[in-house]
Structure 1
Amino acid sequence: MFSGLSAFPLTPMKHGIVDEVAFIRLIERLADAGVDSIGALGSTGNYAYLTRQERACIAQLAVKHAGDVPVIIGISALSTREVLALAEDAQEAGASAVLLAPMSYQKLSEDEVFGLYETVTRKLSVPLCVYDNPGTTHFEFSDELHGRIAQLSNVGSIKIPGVPTEPGAARARVERLRTLIPSHVTIGVSGDPMAATGLNAGCQAWYSVIGGLFPQTALAITRASQAGDTQEALRLSERLHPLWASFSQHGGSLRVAATAAELMGLVTPPCLPLPLNALKGTDRQTLSRLLHEWQLA
């Protein structure tokens, strides 16, 4: 479950409420493509903007419509009390695993973050993926903290941010972390522009935004790397350079992914929770042209 391509779909909105029909469509599309797992209610899934009831509904829909594909449900929240409630909802929905980032309003210390994972993992009956996403949480994990948390029961994977661009530096980064965590805990790369490099450097999973929209495209990159064809994985990723550049230009992948989903007719615009907006004007037109040229699937 914590290896290969883990596809992270949007949680589309319509008139201010969750668009369940569109979400089901996205989940079934991923299941049909044969992704290795589905990650619902990650950052791409807009978890921070949803109520507990909405998140419980999304967890249930994801599990129901994913078929045999394992579903990882995000349980991140500001307080440990909320996290535990969301973990209970995810497990009741039949999640195969949960995903937890250390959200905060007040800056967290390393001991506080360790305490969060220690408390939550004691209560779980399913594995947990550690969600290291400083771009949204503003918390920087040290490798040593990852090593401490990875020793806890029920920890199955660590989702790290993008690796260094240079292949040798990327491999050194992964190997350094590998020495600190048990062998049964996988390392997964996020940050789609660096995914091919991360997989080639020894990451066992790709926690992917584009996998949630273009599963066949992301699977091709993943399978090439898994087969040892590192140059093909890099070539397929480099083909998407304009998309990676758009991620950087627009503050990350979410707005771009939402716009792409709208342009592809997978969701009804506007699909993001306010005050977030998809791309407009020239930026939207440029993305539309690129999608037409690429013919991604």
Structure 2
Amino acid sequence: MFHGLSAFPLTPTDEDGVDESAVAELVARLDRAGVDSIGALGSTGGYAYLSREQRRRVAQVAVRAAGDTPVLVGIGALRTADVLRHAEDAQRAGAAAVLLAPVSYQPLTDDEVYGLYADVAAELSVPLCVYDNPGTTHVVFSDELHGRIAELPAVGSIKIPATPPEPAQARARVARLRAVLPDRVTIGVSGDPAGAGGLLAGCDAWYSVLGGLWPQVCLAITRAARAGDDDGAHRLSDRLAPLWELFARHGSLRVVSAIAEQAGLIGTPNLPRPLLPLPAEARRHVAAVVEELTPELSEPPGRA
């Protein structure tokens, strides 16, 4: 399941809790679109803002709504004991794999990061994807640490940050990491503007925020890149440059939340406080970008 397009949908949330029916519809759209896997409770899924019970329910709803599409469930938390509880809940819900970022408040040493993954891996009956996301965790993985963690039998994939934009540098980055990993461990790229480049550089998967909302165009990028069609993959990705600019300016979670709300996929408000929706001017900008892009995309961001 750690190949191709892994689409990460929102978890529509307000101060009253999670909108489970909206979660189910967002996930079902991805199953119908034919994505390779679905990432529930990733960063876009707001896992860090949800209680254990809310996360347990989201995992259950997502697995049911996903049909035959495998579901990857995020289990990150500050304490190892809580990570283990989330892992248990995800497995009981039927998750095909779990996604773990080393969430921290105190800076973690390499031994502490390794210890987290070793403790969790020892308790798993499903594969684990290592989530390397220094922008939120402030943990910087060395290739040596990645290689050490990847020797744990449960590890099936590593989700890395965006690869360099220059193709030769991107290929070199992926090759350096590949050299320290067992053959069974795949590499997936995140950071949507780098999706095409990462796949063309040799990554096996694209862990995509936009894929959770616009799966068809992201599938087209993924298939072109995996077929070695450099021009086709970059052409499709470059068409989305206005969205990538919005992601950089406002954060992808706020932007895809605004798009999903404007499309009627989720209600409003839909972000857990202290997160706030985009201000009115930014929302108008998002709407204008979506209107401009929608006729060119194979699927508009509405109900499938």
Q: TM-score, normalised by structure 2?
A: 0.96
Partner of 2:60: 60
Match of 1:76 in 2: 76
Note if 1:34 corresponds to 2:40.
no
Which structure 1 residue ranges, 4+ long, deviate > 3 Å from structure 2? none
Deviation of 1:277 (Å):
1.4
Distance 2:36 2:16 in 1: 31
2:17 maps to 1:17: yes
CA distance, structure 1, for counterparts of residue 129 and residue 15 of structure 2:
32
Instruction: Tell me, yes or no, if the aligned pair for 2:121 and 2:152 is still in contact at 8 Å.
Output: yes
CA distance in structure 2 between the aligned counterparts of 1:184 and 1:37, rounded to whole angstroms: 18
- Could you tell me how far apart the structure 1 residues matched to 2:256 and 2:226 are? 25
Question: Which residue does the alignment assign to 1:170?
Answer: 170
Partner of residue 236, structure 1: 236
Distance 2:51 2:222 in 1: 33
Aligned residue in 2 for 1:144: 144
State whether structure 2 residue 253 is matched by structure 1 residue 254.
yes
Q: How far apart in 1 are the matches of 2:15 and 2:28?
A: 23
Please name the residue that 2:184 is paired with.
Answer: 184
Separation of aligned partners in 1, 2:15 and 2:287: 23
Query: In 2, Cα distance between the equivalents of 1:114 and 1:277?
Result: 34
Decide whether the 8 Å contact of 2:161 with 2:191 is kept in 1.
yes
Equivalent position amino acid for 2:48 in 1: A
Q: CA offsets, 1:216-270, max 9 Å, x none?
A: 01101001111111111011111111111111111x2111111111111100011
Instruction: Please give the alpha-carbon distance, in whole angstroms, between the structure 1 residues aligned to 2:227 and 2:269.
Output: 39
- Residues 185-204 of structure 1: CA deviation (Å, up to 9, x unaligned): 00000000011000000000
**Structure 1 residue 283, shift from structure 2 partner:** 1.1
The C-alpha deviation readout for 1:83-117, integer Å capped at 9, x for no partner, is 00100000000100000000011110110000000
Structure 2 gap segments, 5+ residues each = 300-304
Residue 14 of structure 1 deviates from its aligned partner by 4.0
Tell me which residue corresponds to 2:109.
109
SS at match of 1:123: coil
- The answer to whether structure 1 residue 286 and structure 2 residue 285 are counterparts is yes
Q: Tell me how far 1:16 sits from its aligned partner.
A: 2.8
In structure 2, the residue matched to 1:268 is: 267
Deviation at 1:72, TM superposition (A): 0.3
- The aligned amino acid for 1:204 is D
Judge conservation of contact 1:224–1:230 (CA < 8 Å) in 2: yes
Deviations 1:101-147 (Å, cap 9, x if unpaired)? Answer: 00011110110000000110011000000000011111111111000
Give the secondary structure class of the aligned counterpart of 2:288.
Answer: helix
Q: Could you say which residue in structure 2 is the equivalent of 1:2?
A: 2
Contact 1:40/1:73 (8 A) holds in 2: yes
Quote the RMSD (CA, aligned, Å): 0.8
Q: Does 1:219 align with 2:219?
A: yes
Offset, 1:15: 4.7
Look up the match of 1:44: 44
Please say if residues 15 and 273 of structure 2, whose CA atoms lie closer than 8 Å, have aligned partners that are also in contact: no
- Structure 1 contact 72–95 (Cα < 8 Å) conserved: yes
Q: Secondary structure at the match of 2:243?
A: helix
Listed as ranges, the gaps of 5+ residues in structure 1 are: none
Distance in 1, matches of 2:277 and 2:197, equals 28
The DSSP-based 3-state class of the residue aligned with 1:73 is: strand
Do 2:98 and 2:127's aligned partners in 1 also have CA atoms closer than 8 Å? yes
TM-score (norm 1): 0.98
Aligned-pair CA distance for 1:292:
1.2
Q: Distance in 1 between matches of 2:257 and 2:123?
A: 34
Q: Identical aligned pairs, as a percentage?
A: 63
